[in-house]
């Protein structure tokens, strides 16, 4: 078992990405847009994705690392607070 993905979440492929004409990368988690990567960082990400294209888990790990720690359990609090 890998130390990185102990709960085997990345095998479910929760992250998707889309490369736009402008060269930006739009990253989605379970269908919801969570990050847009632009300029130099996007170029590096695209190159790394193309290197790991055959390995789905490696691509998922790249996307997870670039999005950072975005899920903290307070997503519902923010939605309810606006009402």
Span 39-78, pLDDT tens digits: 999 999 999 999 998 999 899 999 999 998 777 666 665 5
Residue 40 lies in a domain: yes
Question: Which two tokens mark 21?
Answer: 């004409």
- Are 67 and 55 in contact by the 8 Å Cβ rule? The answer is no
Residue 18 lies in a domain: yes
- pTM value > 0.85: no
Number of domains in the chain: 1
Residue 70 lies in a domain: yes
Instruction: Give me the pLDDT at residue 82, please.
Output: 56
**Is pLDDT at 79 greater than 60 in this prediction?**
no
- DSSP string of 41-68, one letter each residue: HHHHHHHHHHHTTT-HHHHHHHHHHHH-
Residue 71 lies in a domain: yes
Q: Among all chains, which residue has been given the structure tokens 């992250």?
A: 15
Q: pLDDT tens digit string along 8-21?
A: 888 889 999 999 99
Residue 5 lies in a domain: no
Residue 23 lies in a domain: yes
The CA-atom distances, in angstroms, between 17 and each of 12, 23, 60, 63 are: 15, 12, 10, 8
Residue 50 lies in a domain: yes
- Are 71 and 77 in contact by the 8 Å Cβ rule? The answer is no
- Are 4 and 61 in contact by the 8 Å Cβ rule? The answer is yes
Higher pLDDT, 10 or 79: 10
Residue 43 lies in a domain: yes
- Domain around 30: 10-82
């Amino acid at each position: 078992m890998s130390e990185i993905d102990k709960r085997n979440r990345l095998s479910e492929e929760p992250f998707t990405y889309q490369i736009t004409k402008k060269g930006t990368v739009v990253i989605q988690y379970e269908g919801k847009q969570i990050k847009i990567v632009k300029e130099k960082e996007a170029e590096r990400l695209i190159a790394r994705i193309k290197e790991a294209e055959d390995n789905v888990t490696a691509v998922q790990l790249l996307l997870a690392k670039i999005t950072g720690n975005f899920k903290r359990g307070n997503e519902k609090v923010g939605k309810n607070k606006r009402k």
